[in-house]
Amino acid sequence: LSERLQSALQKLRGKGKVNEADVKAVMREVRLALLEADVNFKVVKEFVSRVSERAVGQEVLKSLTPGQQVIKVVNEELTQLMGGSQAKLALNSKPSVIMMVGLQGAGKTTTSGKLALHLQKQNKRPLLVAGDVYRPAAIRQLEVLGESIEIPVFSLGDKEDPVKIAEQGVAKAKEEGHDVVIVDTAGRLHVDEAMMDELKKIRERVKPDEVLLVVDAMTGQDAVNVAENFNKEMSLTGVVLTKLDGDTRGGAALSVKSVTQCPVKFAGMGEKVDALEPFHPERMASRILGMGDVLTLIEKAQANVDQEKARELERKMRSQQFTFDDFLTQLEQVKNMGPLDELLGMMPGMGQMKGLKNMQVDEKQLGKVEAIIRSMTRDEKQNPEIINASRRKRLAAGSGTTVQDVNRLIKQFMDMKKMMKQFTSMTKGKKKKGMGR
Ligand code: GDP
Ligand code: MG
């Protein structure tokens, strides 16, 4: 979707003058792009007519940068389509109860664990409740997940009634002072009456603050239909879109809210337990338009980069005392942030770069760099100038790399230092705010 939309809008970008016919032509392509992305056709129709109306409006066509303005309108309307602003969890009771529902394989159990971890990071004390007694090993799956993130899991085995399990789970949470209970439930392959009846019973008994529907974004239009059905029966409080990492079309993300009126609250971005993000419509819209998701990137960086170290690093860069020790620290922080290609994809402009998706950032290369730096003596790390030919040979042998590897690293380091020097002299006197903030 991104690519098609971007190429359609690209035609407007640098244009000095835009007339109605231009807008019409571009909107035809936007419409096709959305339909191809499996966005609900009613949603597409309304979207296109809203954007067209605004785009041919006086203030846009008469502005100095009409191309940019149209893109801005598309961005705003995409954001509106997905709910406008971030929809947060409403956890009011004590303990608050979150009930997870959805079809088999949608990602309920995985998301229960992710959500528990997410809430724990916000200083909550979650309890997970294993309410899927039908799928073999479902309970064990949740228990293993719970162990890995050190969050307790309540279960009564697979012979008990799920309604009773949910009730006792909540009672136990109360007893033990947990403030959030996440109830994992069973799914079927299709929505059916028996399933809904059981879920309704659980809902009646535990009176959840949130009923979250978990749907697989990769199923596109089906995900939206499932959401519509569940919402009719259960009146959901929110949707979690999983597997958004594998969803290249984005149809479900764009349609769910406007079809069901139910906001997407979280997005699953991978199989790992920390791959859950609060869903931000405006950021998703920017991502789709290839404008990058700078805010998510910054949040990621802030969560993973030690703020003290970042400030220190910045100070050193400015005073040009940057050494290989600092280089190593920086390397470690970057590694903590996750796969480099994922980070690059969030940067403005990078999304359009062909082949980025398939680019494998070479983790081995990073490992080599680390090994070489670790083989350096203290002196060498502080004063790289002293690393002569014989030292280079020693470093290569000590780190299990080649002299070429060592040469390359030292050259990169020197280049970086040079760049910093230029940068500092450029910004000197301007008193810029630091990146560590
Ligand atoms: P449940 O039947 O609804 O409980 O689904 P599970 O939690 O067992 O998940 C089914 C499969 O989907 C598992 O293999 C998960 O690892 C995978 N999965 C869940 N969420 C995501 C996600 O956000 N991204 C990706 N790539 N895989 C996911
Ligand atoms: Mg499950």
CA of 183 to the centre of ligand 2 (A): 11
Would you say residue 358 has pLDDT above 50? no
> What does the block give as tokens for 338?
């996750």
Please give the mean pLDDT across all residues of the chain. 83
Out of 69-83, 139-153, 192-206, 251-265, least confident range: 69-83
For the segment 222-244, the average pLDDT, to the nearest whole number, is 95
CA of 131 to the centre of ligand 2 (A): 9
- CB 54 near ligand 1, within 6 Å: no
Q: List domains and CATH numbers for the chain.
A: 2-81 (1.20.120.140), 96-285 (3.40.50.300), 299-427 (1.10.260.30)
By the 10 Å C-beta count (0-12 exposed, 13-18 middle, 19+ buried), 194 is classed as exposed
Ligand nearest to the CA of 105: 1
Out of 32-41, 172-181, 362-371, least confident range: 362-371
In this predicted model, what pLDDT tens digit does every residue of 68-105 receive, in sequence order?
A: 778 788 888 999 999 999 999 999 998 999 999 999 99
- CB 243 near ligand 1, within 6 Å: yes
Longest pairwise C-alpha distance within the chain: 77
- CB 402 near ligand 1, within 6 Å: no
Report percent pLDDT > 90 for the chain.
Answer: 50
Out of 23-27, 46-50, 206-210, 361-365, least confident range: 361-365
> Which residue's alpha carbon is at the smallest distance from atom 20 of ligand 1?
107
State how far the Cα of 4 lies from the Cα of 397, in Å rounded to an integer.
50
State how far the Cα of 72 lies from the Cα of 60, in Å rounded to an integer.
10
- CB 114 near ligand 1, within 6 Å: no
CA of 112 to the centre of ligand 2 (A): 9
> Which of 109, 213, 242 for mutating ligand 1's site (highest number of atoms within 8 Å of CB)?
242
- CB 102 near ligand 1, within 6 Å: yes
- Of 228, 210, 231, the closest CA to residue 112 belongs to 210
In this predicted model, what pLDDT tens digit does every residue of 249-284 receive, in sequence order?
A: 788 989 999 999 999 999 999 999 999 999 999 888
Q: Looking at per-residue confidence, does 344 or 286 come out higher?
A: 286
pLDDT confidence tier of residue 327, bands split at 50, 70 and 90:
confident
> Which residue's alpha carbon is at the smallest distance from atom 5 of ligand 1?
107
Binding residues for GTP: 102-109, 184-188, 242-245
Atom nearest to 141 CA in ligand 1: 8
pLDDT confidence tier of residue 360, bands split at 50, 70 and 90:
very low
Out of 20-24, 48-52, 220-224, 315-319, least confident range: 315-319
State how far the Cα of 158 lies from the Cα of 164, in Å rounded to an integer.
12
CA of 110 to the centre of ligand 1 (A): 6
Strand 238-242's sheet: what is its strand order? Answer: 153-154, 126-131, 180-185, 96-101, 210-216, 238-242, 264-268, 276-278
Would you say residue 381 has pLDDT above 60? yes
- CB 108 near ligand 1, within 6 Å: yes
- CB 271 near ligand 1, within 6 Å: yes
CA of 190 to the centre of ligand 1 (A): 17
Would you say residue 349 has pLDDT above 50? no
Give me the pLDDT at residue 432, please: 39
- CB 245 near ligand 1, within 6 Å: yes
> What does the block give as tokens for 24?
């019409």
- Of 45, 51, 57, the closest CA to residue 18 belongs to 57
Give backbone dihedrals phi and psi of 365, rounded to 5 degrees, phi first.
-60, -45
CA of 110 to the centre of ligand 2 (A): 7
Q: Looking at per-residue confidence, does 351 or 164 come out higher?
A: 164
> Which residue's alpha carbon is at the smallest distance from atom 16 of ligand 1?
271
- Tokens 């730096």 locate to 373
Contacts of 280 (CB under 8 A, 6+ apart): 86, 295, 296
In this predicted model, what pLDDT tens digit does every residue of 397-437 receive, in sequence order?
A: 999 999 999 998 898 888 777 766 665 565 544 443 333 33
CA of 9 to the centre of ligand 1 (A): 34
For the segment 14-41, the average pLDDT, to the nearest whole number, is 83
Own/partner long-range contacts of 349-358 (Cβ < 8 Å, ≥24 apart): 349/290, 349/292, 350/292, 351/2, 351/6, 351/287, 351/290, 351/292, 352/3, 352/6, 352/290
Would you say residue 293 has pLDDT above 80? no
pTM of the model: 0.70
